[in-house]
């Protein structure tokens, strides 16, 4: 059974005797609807809390059968909960109030665990950031703790397909004539719920799950790292991270499939809560801090990689190695020697690069799809290595340092890392954007001067994989990916329609003065 179905089964409420509805009061007087299911017996019980933007399912909860009280609460403004839905803006305070209300109930023994995946996982992460005194542990899958940089505006570019569809489904208001691109929604307030600002309030052990092709991957990794190193009390040293070779909820569509047994989330969750909420020595605390699947060529199913690995931290020890963009479209470890050298393309907002997808509207996943359908586009720069004479194995954060210029005051740069197989299959392993106005940081916006060269750093998130011998590493650079992201109009100010958009000539420089490069976290293979 897929992970997402297991989560639903675990989190579902059992509609039977022992269940009741409550309206739980928040500090501002708003009441949030909750379904409470109690196990048989006199109690009091340890409690598993799930806070969700979705309808509460009617499946029987395995946690109830295991002797836990289960509380499932709809978030503010959704379903029967009062107030206005504000896209997770109140979840830290509401989570705190809910946990402490639970602790005061006669059926509760005062130990509360937080459980959830996807939307409930986001609310769960924020609840765990509240520092509520009666929190005891958490299990979170496929989530993040800050919507702005992870989901809504990665690199400052609005991820419209996912955010608009999800927001509209929750009934939130989106002005119909809102200018595109949405610059003014991305501001200093983006950091108000960032895990970096609340890491010290994370006080409990948490089990984190994600997949390499989930849209939230880096958000899960960031939370794990900061809780492991900057949390307090029992948090430091008691975080566990599992990264599997699938996407959101354990799904992965497309031609490349890594067939491996994923650690059973149901069993691990039960062991985790039994240990931290019931003092049962399940041994789960002795698991490695990090377990991750190192991706290889799945069609070979042979080393290098294609295996589970473990360690005491993320990332594992690695060295940053440079792969330089070369004149003529090459990619190598040798820095370019030319005094001047560059590659340019025209970006026309009226003809953007398409997002290739395995299934319509599946924006929660980033599958490694074949990019050859885009091979004839002139607005994608391609820099590709020769066939590798030895495997290159990586594990950790990827970056691109580019020297760029443009004819516009502002534009976007998308950097794509491609694993080209010997048969020509172009597997998209990573694609991340940066809006040029944020090149000096997201705390300010700076217009570009026409044709001036700027150094930009594009955060390409984390990845563990091997580029096998005979494969080629490719870096592709463009300025759009539609419909996943809003296309830039190449204007400084928002516009009312794309009829006001302008074309831009965008340039990437690759010379001895401007050595654009891909930085890969190369590791020594673990054998």
CB 209 within 8 A of CB 220: yes
**Cα separation of 438 and 451, whole Å?**
17
- Burial label for 168, CB within 10 Å (0-12, 13-18, 19+), is exposed
Indicate if the pLDDT at residue 17 is higher than 90: no
Q: Given pLDDT bands bounded at 50, 70 and 90, which one contains residue 448?
A: very high
More confident residue, 132 or 497: 132
Secondary-structure percent of the chain, ordered helix, strand, coil, rounded to 5: 20, 30, 50
Q: Given pLDDT bands bounded at 50, 70 and 90, which one contains residue 347?
A: very high
Lowest mean pLDDT among 245-254, 260-269, 316-325: 260-269
**Cα separation of 225 and 202, whole Å?**
12
Output DSSP code: residue 354: B
- Burial label for 41, CB within 10 Å (0-12, 13-18, 19+), is exposed
Which residue intervals of 129-172 are DSSP H helices? 147, 160-169
CB 473 within 8 A of CB 324: no
319-522: which CATH architecture? Sandwich (2.60)
Percent of the chain with pLDDT over 70: 91
Q: What is the dihedral of CA 471, 473, 477, 483, to 10 degrees?
A: 50
Q: Given pLDDT bands bounded at 50, 70 and 90, which one contains residue 61?
A: confident
Tokens encoding 175: 């002005």
Percent of the chain with pLDDT over 90: 77
Matching residue, tokens 């059968």: 65
- The 10s digit of each residue's pLDDT in 226-252 is 999 999 989 999 999 999 999 998 889
Measure CA of the first residue to CA of the last residue in the chain; give whole Å.
31
* Close Cβ partners of 212 (under 8 Å, ≥ 6 residues apart): 243, 244, 245, 246, 247, 293, 295, 463, 464, 465
Indicate if the pLDDT at residue 477 is higher than 60: yes
* Close Cβ partners of 206 (under 8 Å, ≥ 6 residues apart): 128, 137, 138, 139, 140, 223, 224, 227, 235, 238, 239, 240
Q: Given pLDDT bands bounded at 50, 70 and 90, which one contains residue 152?
A: confident
More confident residue, 192 or 445: 445
Matching residue, tokens 């929190």: 135
* Omega of the bond leading into 228 within 30 degrees of 0 (cis): no
Query: CA 265 from chain center: how many Å?
Result: 19
| pTM greater than the 0.85 cutoff | yes
Indicate if the pLDDT at residue 3 is higher than 60: no
Would you kindly state where each structural domain of the chain is located, as residue ranges? 14-173+193-287, 319-522
Indicate if the pLDDT at residue 5 is higher than 60: no
Indicate if the pLDDT at residue 221 is higher than 60: yes
Beta bridge partners of 506: 345, 406
**Cα separation of 12 and 56, whole Å?**
7
**Cα separation of 165 and 162, whole Å?**
6
Tokens encoding 413: 């740069």
Matching residue, tokens 């976290």: 521
- CB atoms inside a 10 Å sphere around CB 102: 24
Lowest mean pLDDT among 77-81, 99-103, 358-362: 358-362
Q: Given pLDDT bands bounded at 50, 70 and 90, which one contains residue 182?
A: low
CB 115 within 8 A of CB 269: yes
| The two domains 14-173+193-287 and 319-522 share their CATH topology (first three levels equal) | no
Q: What's the chain's Rg over C-alpha atoms? A: 24
Q: What is the reported pLDDT for 313?
A: 96
Q: What is the reported pLDDT for 177?
A: 44
Report the chain's mean pLDDT, rounded to a whole number: 91
Sign of the Cα pseudo-torsion (70, 76, 79, 82, in order): positive
CB 460 within 8 A of CB 415: yes
- The 10s digit of each residue's pLDDT in 505-516 is 999 999 999 999
Q: What is the reported pLDDT for 145?
A: 87
CATH class of 14-173+193-287: alpha beta
- The 10s digit of each residue's pLDDT in 359-374 is 988 999 999 999 999 9
Indicate if the pLDDT at residue 174 is higher than 60: no
Q: What is the reported pLDDT for 167?
A: 74
Provide the residue count of the chain: 527
CB 332 within 8 A of CB 385: yes
CB 508 within 8 A of CB 404: yes
Q: What is the reported pLDDT for 166?
A: 79
Indicate if the pLDDT at residue 187 is higher than 70: no
């Amino acid at each position: 059974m897929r992970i997402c179905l297991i989560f639903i089964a675990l989190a579902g409420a059992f509609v039977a005797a022992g269940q009741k509805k409550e309206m739980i009061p928040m500090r501002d007087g708003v009441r949030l609807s909750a379904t409470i299911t109690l196990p048989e017996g006199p109690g009091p019980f340890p409690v598993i809390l799930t806070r969700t933007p979705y309808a509460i399912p009617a499946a029987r909860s395995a946690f109830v059968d295991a002797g836990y009280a289960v509380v499932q609460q709809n978030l503010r403004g959704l379903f029967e909960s009062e107030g206005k839905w504000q896209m997770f803006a109140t979840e830290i305070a509401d989570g705190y109030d809910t946990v402490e209300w639970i602790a005061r109930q006669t059926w509760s023994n005062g130990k509360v665990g937080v459980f959830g995946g996807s939307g409930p996982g986001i609310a769960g992460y924020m609840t765990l950031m509240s520092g509520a005194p009666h929190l005891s542990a958490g299990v979170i899958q496929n989530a993040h703790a800050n919507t702005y940089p992870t989901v809504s505006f990665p690199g400052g570019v609005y991820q419209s397909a996912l955010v608009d569809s999800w927001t509209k489904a929750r009934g939130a208001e989106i002005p119909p004539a809102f200018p595109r691109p949405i610059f003014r929604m991305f501001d200093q307030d983006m950091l108000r719920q960032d895990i970096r600002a609340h890491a010290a309030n994370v006080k409990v052990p948490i089990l984190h799950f994600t997949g390499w092709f989930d849209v939230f991957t880096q958000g899960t990794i960031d939370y794990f790292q900061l809780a492991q190193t900057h949390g307090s009390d029992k948090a430091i040293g008691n975080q566990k991270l599992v990264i599997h070779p699938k996407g959101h909820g354990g799904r992965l569509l497309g031609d490349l499939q890594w067939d491996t047994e994923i650690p059973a989330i149901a069993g691990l969750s039960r062991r985790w809560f039994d240990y931290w909420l019931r003092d049962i020595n399940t041994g789960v605390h002795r698991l490695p801090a990090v377990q991750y699947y190192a991706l290889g060529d799945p069609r070979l199913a042979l080393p290098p990689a294609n295996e589970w690995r473990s360690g005491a931290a993320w990332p594992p020890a690695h060295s940053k190695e440079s792969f330089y963009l070369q004149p003529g479209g090459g990619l190598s470890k040798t820095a370019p020697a030319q005094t001047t050298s560059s590659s340019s393309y025209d970006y026309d907002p009226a003809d953007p690069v398409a997002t290739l997808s395995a299934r319509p509207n599946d924006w929660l996943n980033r599958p490694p799809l074949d990019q050859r359908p885009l091979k004839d586009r002139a607005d994608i720069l391609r820099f590709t290595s020769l066939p590798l004479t030895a495997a290159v194995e990586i594990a950790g954060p990827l970056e691109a340092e580019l020297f760029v210029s443009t004819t516009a005051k502002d534009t976007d740069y998308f950097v794509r890392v491609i694993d080209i197989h010997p048969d020509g299959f172009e597997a998209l392993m990573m694609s991340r954007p940066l809006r040029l106005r944020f090149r000096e940081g997201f705390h300010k916006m700076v217009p570009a001067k026409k044709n001036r060269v700027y150094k930009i750093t594009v955060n390409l998130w984390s990845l563990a994989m091997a580029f096998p011998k005979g494969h080629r590493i490719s870096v592709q650079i463009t300025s759009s990916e539609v419909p996943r992201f809003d296309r830039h109009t190449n204007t400084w100010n928002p516009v009312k329609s794309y009829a006001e958009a302008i074309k831009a000539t965008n340039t990437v420089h690759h010379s001895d003065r401007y050595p654009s490069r891909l930085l890969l976290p190369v590791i020594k293979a673990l054998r």
